[in-house]
Structure formats: structure tokens, C-alpha cells
Amino acid sequence: MKVAIPTEVKNNEFRVAVTPAGVHELTENGHEVFVQAGAGLGSSIPDEAYEAAGAVILADAARTWAAADLLLKVKEPVDSEYAFFRSDLVLFTYLHLAAEPLLTQALLSAGVTSIAYETVQLPSGALPLLAPMSEVAGRLAPIVGANVMLKPNGGPGLLVPGVPGTHPARIVVLGGGVAGTAAMQVALGLGADVTVLDTNLFRLRELDALHFGRVKTIASNSFEIDKAVSEADMVIGSVLIPGARAPKLVSNELVSRMRPGSVLVDIAVDQGGCFADSHPTTHAEPTFTVHRSLFYCVANMPGAVPHTSTYALTNATLPYVRAIANRGWKSALNADSSLARGLTTYAGSIMSAPVASAHGLECRSLADVLA
């Protein structure tokens, strides 16, 4: 199979879909790998490293997309890439289509077979290809939030851990999943006063047992969210419904009652965000103000640490990429029900129920396609 990796073009996106180790693995399995010139530079991987691993370097995006049977990306395609879509292309990347109506329509119109990293799901419910980037975004969230809280950046001038004789920052984490747990751990390490809210009481018991009472665990409901958020210096939103839009947990009215200079970091913004006023921002212009609070809603947070993110992502995706390349996408999905859950569009049809629901479209049966 011909596997191609283009350069990411989203604002300040420095990750790349495959490392040289991944290229070597695919070429060892008899596949041709094409990498766009400069694709790895943002992750400190030169073209020469890819060539040494067996890749062919192509000069531009058009040639790279055209060469692909299977195209690997990190972030969802942007409108400048829609012209490269075609019906015989298999696209494997993060898509977040529930929050992307224009991209959804472009994929359907072109008949692209798309498989979304974020909806590949194990029988346990775990999301193996979303987890590494959730860990990165979660660990970043308190760090970027602490930076936004500095006075020169528009914040209240509050030092997260404080110093002896002063109060540390109160950080509230909405959601105790992979991203929320990572955010909680770093927030604790920074010396913050940390509260985690989740609807899963078993998960809250796990967090309490792991951290010996250092973190407050609260059963999540609208009353407790209101109370915790209104008293917080920083709120980190990390709720997730696989494939669907994130639920809106923090209203505009609630933000109006928060402390002046409070910071809200929305990890779920690429799924629509869990704050009412969230909209995607970029690393170039990461924040905006709502009432007297600062929102940080960068949709590709892990892109700020591309060296770590690229290797973590390849570690997770490579077994699935190898399976698709070795067996063909349909045979690979038939053999692995977890991978099959990632199928999002095929031959002009929506294959994901949450995406279909988000856009008011019909969902085609997976069994019908894979039969």
C-alpha cells in the first residue's frame, strides 16, 4: 500500500503523523511511504531521517495527497485541503466531525473513506488513539492556565502555588477521565487547591484512593458545578462523549459570577467545547474575554509540544496503521471491532451515529458496509 504523510497546515500545528520508526516499520512490511518535504521539522525530525528509514520525500502537498492510498494526518483537514479529497482515498486522522459541518460535507461529497482516531474504541470503552493526546492536553492545561493568570497576560496576577502566608489558586477540573486526571496531577504538582467533578463515583473513589485525600472529589451535577466554578480561579473542562459534541456545563451566566481574572481552559473545544462561550482559538491568539474571565480554547493544544506529542501519537497509532496497510481497510476493520468503530464516512454516507445526530443526517449501518 502507498502510505502518505503531508505537512500539517493548521495554525501553529507542528506535529507530524508518523516518526521515522513508523516509516521503517511500514517499509519493512513492504509498503511505500511518502512524506512531504519538511513535514517533520516542527517535531525536530529532518527529511533525512525519514529518507534513512525508507521514505520518499515529495515536494508539496498536492503530490503527497495524490500518492496516497492511505493518508495519515494529525489534525482534521482544513478547507485548503478539501480539493485533495477523492473517492479512492482512505484518511486516518483526528476528525472531530460532530463540531465540523463543512468538513463533514466535504468528505461526504468526495466519497472519502475516513477513519477517526478519536472514535477507535476498545471493548472497555477506552479510546486508545485519543488517550495519548488527552494526556498531553491534560498535563498542559494547568501550565497554560497558570501562564494566562500572569498579570502581563491579562490575568489576575495570581501565582498558582502561592507562597507561605498566601492562598494557592483554586483549580476545578470538570471530568475525571484521561485528560482530567492528567490535569489534576499537574495541578497538584503545581501546589494548587484542586477539586475534580465527575458523574462516575467509582472513578472519584479511585482518584481519592490514589491521592490520599489531597484532591477534593465531588459528584458532578449542575448545583455542584455552579458552586465549584463560581469559587474557582481556574476551571479546566475535560468532558468527553466519544464522537459527539461535548455537553455545555458552564453557562455564560455562571461565568458572569466568577472571580475577575479567572481562567477557563477548554480541552474539549475540538468537540464543540464544554463552556457555553467556547470557540476554537489558536496558539497565535489563544485567549479571549467573557465578562471578566479569560477563556483559553486552543483546539490543538498538544501541537505546542510537538516533539513529545508526535512520538506519543505514533506509539499509539502505528499498530492500527500497520493493520490497515497490511490487510486493506475493510479487512482490518472486519478483524478488529475497536478499529471498526472509527469508521466515520464511506462512499458518501455517515458511519458514526453521534456525527449523524449532530448534523441531522442518516447513519449507514456498519455491518452493511463491512459485510
Rounded to whole angstroms, how far apart are CA atoms 38 and 46? Answer: 7
Judged by DSSP in three states, 289 sits in strand
Helix (H) or strand (E) run with residue 79 in it: none
Rounded to whole angstroms, how far apart are CA atoms 112 and 73? Answer: 14
Q: How many CB atoms lie within 10 A of CB 157?
A: 11
Point out the catalytic residue in the list 31, 96, 198, 277. Answer: 96
Give residue 229's identity as a one-letter amino acid code.
Answer: V
Rounded to whole angstroms, how far apart are CA atoms 167 and 153? Answer: 21
Rounded to whole angstroms, how far apart are CA atoms 352 and 121? Answer: 12
Of 263, 254, 257, residue with least CA distance to 289: 263
Q: How far out from the chain centre does Cα 3 lie?
A: 23
Rounded to whole angstroms, how far apart are CA atoms 312 and 309? Answer: 5
The answer to whether 285 touches 258, Cβ cutoff 8 Å, is no
Point out the catalytic residue in the list 193, 198, 233, 270. Answer: 270
Rounded to whole angstroms, how far apart are CA atoms 111 and 88? Answer: 8
Contacts for 33 with CB less than 8 Å, ≥ 6 apart: 3, 4, 5, 18, 23, 26, 27, 50, 54, 55, 56
**Is 96 labeled as catalytic in the residue annotation?**
yes
Rounded to whole angstroms, how far apart are CA atoms 197 and 219? Answer: 6
Residue with cell 475577575: 260
Query: How far are the Cα atoms of 5, 29, 151, 206, 319 from residue 40, in angstroms, in the given order?
Result: 10, 22, 35, 39, 20
**Is 198 labeled as catalytic in the residue annotation?**
no
The answer to whether 336 touches 296, Cβ cutoff 8 Å, is no
The answer to whether 171 touches 146, Cβ cutoff 8 Å, is no
Rounded to whole angstroms, how far apart are CA atoms 322 and 217? Answer: 41
Give residue 310's identity as a one-letter amino acid code.
Answer: T
Give residue 336's identity as a one-letter amino acid code.
Answer: D
Q: Which positions are annotated as active-site residues? A: 96, 270
